[in-house]
Amino acid sequence: MFYPSLLFQLVFFDVSLWFLSIPVAIVLAIVGWYAPRGLRWVAFCAAALLALPVPVVGGFMIIDGIKTTVRLAALERLLDRDETVVGVALPAGSKVYFADTSRAKISWIELPGVADIRGVRLTGNVDWVDGSRVWHGTLAEDQRLDGWPCHAGLVQFDDNGLVEECELAAGYELLGFALPPGSTVSRGDVINPWKFRLPDDAGAVIPLLATIAPPGVTLFVESNGRLDQLNSGDGQTITVRGVPLNSMHLYVRDHETVVAALAVPFIVSGELRPAGTGVRTSLLTGEVSLAGKNWWLVD
């Protein structure tokens, strides 16, 4: 019975171990040359079976390499003059990589130096992320974009030049939050909240909680400026209405109740509760109560 998979494995090992199979094939050919007629053809056939797959597979690899090279050449283009490519004005020396051979969509661009893309001065590589419909690039210098004082470095913006994310080069007030320099601002919409990640060396006042958010936390803010949640992988302590809470997962429910875990042992309902206990804190009265099991799953 013929087993194609077994044959494939034999060919694979023969080609992979060519440094052994080729010398063995040569030895078999020499032995066959001097062997009696009956054994000669056995040795020649064995030598051929060992040696033949190597050049055949090598030939296929060369052909595949040529095809890959041709395909890559069709996906790349080096501009020898200033030109607008797929609606994007680019300077001479730019190297454009297309998403497919139709060249109807740009995947990323290698800039020869500082260049203006959609009103944003960039340097280095500029990537188009098709899923989120935004450009990712590196600001060549501090620049004010849509009023935001963006710091030189990583930036995201849409195809109309509207900045989606950048690090603030100076303090800036947005949606009622006075954000310190070094904050990373990510634009939101009616479905996905805004994100303000505070720098590691500065906090920010949160009017709703009447407290200061510790450095390094991320604020999730609705489009109307209301705080939705606060998150920090480091789990710093934030005090809300006198209650020490862990900032790793803090939620604001109905804009009047904070749900989070205790950062340290604290008296709740007349009993000392350990750190990590989920509690609800009323922003109206300051009353604290147990949040119950799986409190972090509350919508």
Model confidence over 58-101: pLDDT tens digits?
Answer: 554 554 544 444 454 557 889 889 999 888 899 999 999 988 77
Of 168, 183, 212, which residue is a domain's last?
168
Please count the helices (runs of H) and the strands (runs of E) in the chain.
Answer: 4, 27
| Same-domain check for residues 28 and 135 | no
Query: 221-251: per-residue pLDDT in tens?
Result: 998 889 999 998 788 999 999 999 999 999 9
**CA-wise closest residue to 124 among 80, 88, 154:** 154
How much of the chain is in helix, strand and coil states, percent to nearest 5?
A: 25, 40, 35
| Same-domain check for residues 149 and 242 | no
The pLDDT score that the predictor gives to residue 70 is 47
Of 116, 134, 168, which residue is a domain's last?
168
The pLDDT score that the predictor gives to residue 18 is 46
Of 116, 143, 168, which residue is a domain's last?
168
| Same-domain check for residues 293 and 180 | yes
| Same-domain check for residues 198 and 152 | no
The total number of structural domains in the chain stands at 3
Query: 151-198: per-residue pLDDT in tens?
Result: 999 999 998 889 999 999 999 999 999 999 999 999 988 788 999 999
| Same-domain check for residues 42 and 131 | no
- Domain coverage including residue 282: 171-299
Q: CA-based angle 166:172:175, to the nearest 5? A: 90
pTM for this model (two decimals): 0.73
